[in-house]
Amino acid sequence: MRKARINQITSKTMIKDKSPKEEPKIEEKNVVKRKGVVVSDKGDKTLVVEVTTLRTHKKYQKQYRDTKKFKVHDEENKCKVGDKIEFVETRPISKDKKWKVL
């Protein structure tokens, strides 16, 4: 019993003695990036971007396309319909806009 207790104590101290690893930057830690095609650019500084993903059905193992539309903030109004863009999640800009162009 005593030897087991000593091993526990030494293993705990060894863990504490290790040098701390560098923490990743907060900006890079939980960044969500997506790619899609611009479907609409009618709004001022707002784009509607369609993202298509290929998924597999759990039961039937058949692949199908799943599309979703996002409202994306474009500060300079530089993107046009048909452009392929990459966008990232950000703070809420309006009710539906929570994404911005990279």
Reply yes or no on domain 22-101 having CATH 3.20.20.140.
no
Other Cβ atoms less than 10 A from the Cβ of 83: the count is 14
In this structure, the strands spanning 84-89 and 99-101 are antiparallel
pLDDT in tens, 45-97: 999 999 999 999 999 999 999 999 999 999 999 999 999 999 999 999 999 99
pLDDT in tens, 21-43: 655 444 566 788 999 999 999 99
Q: How far from 72 is each of 14, 16, 94, CA to CA, in Å?
A: 49, 45, 10
Phi/psi of residue 7, nearest 5 degrees: -65, -40
